[in-house]
Structures are given as structure tokens and as C-alpha cells.
Chains A and B, each alone.
Chain A
Amino acid sequence: MPRNLNGRAAAAADGTLDWAAVRSQFPIMERKVQGGVQLVYLDNAASSQKPAVVLEAMAHYYRTSHANVHRGVHTLSEEATTLYEDARQNAGRLINASSSRECVYVRNTTEGINLVAGSWGRANLGPGDTVVTTVMEHHSNIVPWQILQAERGFTLRYVPVTPEGHLDREVFGSLMAEDPKLVCFTHVSNVLGTVNPVAELTAEAHAAGALVLVDGAQGVPHLPVDVQALGVDFYVYSGHKMCGPTGIGLLWARRELLQAMPPWMGGGEMIREVTLEGSRWNELPYKFEAGTPAIAEAVGLGAAAEYLMDLGMDNVASHSAYLTNYAYNQLVEIEGVRILGPGPEERMGLVSFHVDEVHPHDLAAILDLDGVAIRAGHHCAQPLHQSLDLIASARASFYLYNTESEIDRLAAGIERARRIF
């Protein structure tokens, strides 16, 4: 593999990063759209682009080592198993998991939350119990609990969002007095960009005797995450928002919880012994990984985690914060633009906004004609939009490869849309 493909190659001797070199590691940044305009990709909160090192790792795996994992004793099966398990180590190391046994591969954050709902939730929740989630959540941290609530009959409560775009700590505190069994919230809001105080909220929930599940989909791409220091019980993230491929993500949970949880899917790999009278489950984490897994995608996830760790998550966080701040300050100057959520110091990675007289979809369509890709819609957070009295918003979200001049093009496109309407 060419040496200049990895994250370390972009690091200068003094630890600072050459962000132009980082950008050049993402082949899609060469892409022209709309008949020759340079692509400006600002839809990273939906899905990030991939560095060559991730694409190469996956292609290399398929070209040289593909076989099923944990099955055969032949050379390729052993190679594939090693690559698959090394990737798990890296994906866990990125969030400082103490053991890869606590790291369960899932398809994405949504599947990880559904796994916790379907396994831990079905075994532990019933009438008289309370689960707390928040209005700030992506649908993936609301709907699985609503589905389970219909089946198990527990109480589901929501923490509202303040006008400034924070979780309402007063209501949060009063809901803790209702002795919830589980408290779920997002690390970073996918609409407001708000960075929630995970450690503080977790300590408060633990004091009330609750377990804590954190949706890390928007946190892991931008922030150094240490699940042990945060003290959480379940932490889930997706690969495709942090330079990895689609179809793979990670559920981390404390070992004793995973040990006590029943399997949620039955089949191959997840069993130790099967007889016609019944079965015994495999050890962790395989108990939760029925069937042939997404091996190449896992290899890609591991490569992405390694890439980010090579860049240094502190560096990544500063760069994301810088771009977010720059965009906030550019957009806030444009007449008719209303930015959703808190100020630039309390947010990460994105700016959602509404432009007077211009529906977000029309704005996105006009920006697209300039080659600028943003997201328009409710971003899978309808309850949050309802609480903001909006049906939709526009969202620009940033990552490693974005530049100030790209954000300038966004701002120019917004001005142009305002002139059309």
C-alpha cells in the first residue's frame, strides 16, 4: 500500500497536520459535478467520504484474503479471521474500550440501538418501568423504544430541548426522580450540533439507578471518545460517518451487561452447542453476531478507526470545531438566515438553518446546481423539528477534508437562493 495513504503521512514532525494533504487522501474530492464544477461535499453528518486507505484495505481483503471467518482452518479463513478481529480491536480502541469482547459489530447505530432494545429491553422492561429518551434524538433512538413500549407496556418519557438548543436539565433531573431503568441520549445532535455533557448526564442517571445508552453516530467522527471515562453503559456508532464503509458499526457495552443479555438473533456463529432440545450461546461478542458478518466492511471500519487515530482525534476535533465556527460566523451574517441550536462553542460538526422565504429543499436544489451538497429535510428528527415549529431545515456538515473556501461557496449559494426567491 502506498505510504502516503495513511493518516500518519499527513502529520508533520511537530504533530500538526497538513489538512491539504489529508484532503488529497480522499479520491472523491477530485469529483466534478454539474458539468465541471468542483464538488463541495457538506453532507457529512449523513455520511462521510472515504480515504483511499479504507478503500484499499477493503479491496485488498477481497483480492487476497477473503474467506468466511471463524469457520475453516485453511489459510484464507485464518487470514480473514485475523483481519476481522484486528479491525474490531481498532474500532474498540477508537472509543477506548477495555476489551474487544465488549465490542459487537452491528450494521449501523440504528441496529445497535435496536439490539439493545430487543435484547436488554425485552428482558428487563415491563409495566411500571420507565425509559427516558429526548426530543433531540434521531428517530433511531426514539422509534425502537416506542416499538418495544407497545410490546412491553413500560412508560416512555422525553427530555425536552430548551430554546437555546440544549437538553432541559431541569426536566432531566425531575425525570430521574421517576427511577428510570434506562436513559438514552445522543452524544451530538444531528440537527442542532449540540454536544451533550455525556459524563454529567450519565452520573446523574447512575445516581438514579438507571443504565445509560449513548448514540455516538455524530460524536465518534469528531470527538475523542472514551467510554470508560464517560462511564456510560451502552455506546453505539456507525462506520460510514467516520470514514468507514456503510453496513458496519459498533455497539460497545459493559461486559456484565452483554453477558446477562439474551441473544437477539439466532443462527450460525452465535451458538456454542445446538441440539434438537435447545442451544447454548457462544461467548462474547459472538453471541450477538449471528450469521456470516460483513467482513470486508469490518476491515474497512478498522482501517477508518486506525486512520482517525493516526490523525489524532484531538486534531480532528480542533479542525471540526474550526470549520463549524467559521461556517457559523459566515452564515449568521447572511440576512434572513436563522441558525438552529447553540452558539459555535457548544456545537460540533454542523450548522442547521432556515432561510426566510426559501424552503430547505429549494435551497438544497439551488446549492446543488453550484455543486454544493447539503442536506434538506427533517434529518430523521421530526419531533425535534416539531418542537422548533419547523417542518424541515437545511444542514451543512463538515469533515476532515472541508475548507474555508468551500464554506464561502455555501454562503454565496445561500445569497443566490435568496435573490431567486
Chain B
Amino acid sequence: MDQLYREAIIDHYRHPRHYGCLEAPDYKAHDLNPFCGDELTIELKVDDEGIIRGVAFDGKGCAISLASASMLMEEILHESLDEVKTWTREDILDMLGIEIGPVRMKCAMLSLKVLKKGIYGLDQLEEEELD
């Protein structure tokens, strides 16, 4: 277990990075995980070169979904939007560094789902992409 709840996951859960909101974000999206009622909002500020210069997330959820969001914020800050668009579920699983069963997958993927929803402004695309 100790694998599923490795130190870094617990640390990000207890001390989430970039938790809160931004002033006048360029991108903002919100979604729910109906399975457990987790909810997440992600905001981004992007400069003229398309580089992400500000990130923030807000929400309620389990350790897996909140650690996933917190880690993702760190990963994408100062990255280009085009680069972030290529992120897949495998990237999230690598980032988390734990094995996740089918039921908890929705918790782990909520952050990427909300991020992509914000960037693309489309629901449908992400649902298909992440399933």
C-alpha cells in the first residue's frame, strides 16, 4: 500500500502546490468525478509565446485526485501549451509513479481531464481521449 500511498502522494495531498486561484486567468475549467463526488477547477495564465506562466487549482477530493492535480501543476508550469496538449494518461501515471486500478483511474485522471477541457474548451474530446 504503502506503494499506492507513497510519500510523495501524501505530501502533495497534505501540502498541495499552486492551490487557489489566479487573477484574470486565460484558461479556466471545472469538472466533477461522479464516482466519488470529487471536484476540481484548474486555471492557467499563458503568455504571448504560448508558455504557461501561471497555474492554480482548487477543489475537493481524495489523495489520488488532489495529488495528481498538484503534481500536474508543477509539471506544466513554464511549459508550452502545445507541449501540454500532448499529455496522455500514461504521462499522468508516470508522474504519479503508482499502479492504479480501473476504479481509481477516474480519480487519477480528473486533473488531466479538467486541464484539457480548459485548453480545448470541449468536453467530448477529452472523455474519448482518456477512456
Contacts and interface: CB of A to CB of B under 8 A. Distances in A.
B103 to A, nearest CB: 9
Contact of A377 (B1, B37, B104): B37
B63 interface: yes
A376 B33 CA distance: 13
B61 A359 contact: yes
B36 A376 contact: yes
Contacts of B104: 361, 365
A377 B37 CA distance: 7
A240 B60 CA distance: 33
B26 to A, nearest CB: 29
Contact of A420 (B5, B38, B107): B5
B5 A362 contact: yes
Contact of A369 (B1, B13, B62): B1
A366 interface: yes
A362 B36 CA distance: 11
A359 B4 contact: no
Interface in B41-80: 60-64
A354 to B, nearest CB: 13
A360 B61 CA distance: 9
Contact of B37 (A366, A391, A421): A391
A362 B64 contact: yes
Contact of A391 (B1, B14, B38, B64): B38
A421 B4 CA distance: 13
A385 interface: yes
A332 to B, nearest CB: 24
B37 A378 contact: yes
B10 interface: yes
A377 B5 contact: no
Interface string A366-399: 1001000000111000100100000110000000
A366 B63 CA distance: 12
B4 A385 contact: no
Contacts of B37: 377-378, 382, 385, 391-392
B5 to A, nearest CB: 6
B109 to A, nearest CB: 14
Contacts of A376: 36
A391 B63 CA distance: 14
B102 to A, nearest CB: 13
A12 B34 CA distance: 48
B1 A366 contact: yes
Contacts of B62: 359-362
Contacts of A366: 1, 4-5
Given A369-B4, A378-B37, A362 B63 contact: yes
A393 to B, nearest CB: 10
B63 A359 contact: yes
B64 A361 contact: yes
A392 B36 contact: yes
Interface string A135-168: 0000000000000000000000000000000000
A362 B107 CA distance: 11
B79 to A, nearest CB: 29
A361 B10 contact: no
A390 B97 CA distance: 29
Nearest to B32: A391
B94 to A, nearest CB: 20
A391 B32 CA distance: 11
Interface of A: 359-362, 365-366, 369, 376-378, 382, 385, 391-392, 420-421
Given A362-B64, A366-B1, A391-B38, 19 more contacts: A359-B36, A359-B62, A359-B63, A361-B36, A361-B107, A362-B5, A362-B63, A365-B1, A366-B5, A369-B1, A376-B36, A378-B36, A378-B37, A385-B37, A391-B37, A391-B39, A392-B37, A420-B5, A421-B10
Interface of B: 1, 4-5, 10, 13-14, 35-39, 60-64, 104, 107
Closest 3 A/B residue pairs (Cβ): A359-B62, A361-B62, A391-B37
24 contacts: A359-B36, A359-B62, A359-B63, A360-B36, A360-B62, A361-B104, A362-B5, A362-B64, A365-B1, A365-B4, A365-B5, A365-B104, A366-B1, A366-B4, A366-B5, A377-B35, A377-B37, A378-B37, A391-B37, A391-B38, A391-B39, A420-B1, A421-B10, A421-B13
